[in-house]
Amino acid sequence: MGNADGMTQKQLSAAFFGWRREVVLAKRAMAFKKGLL
């Protein structure tokens, strides 16, 4: 991955897991909407 510009490994993992959570919530919302239709 190389040198992360000013970001520590902890910040990177936090951002990554935050993104993963957003994706999961978005997929869940999509499935919920499809279930209502």
Section 6-27 average pLDDT: 92
Helix boundaries (H) for 1-37: 9-36
User: CA 6 → CA 2, 11, 14, 17, distances in Å?
Assistant: 12, 10, 14, 19
Section 6-24 average pLDDT: 91
Q: pTM for the full model?
A: 0.54
Amino acid in the structure at residue 5: D
CA 27, CA 17: separation in Å to the nearest integer? 15
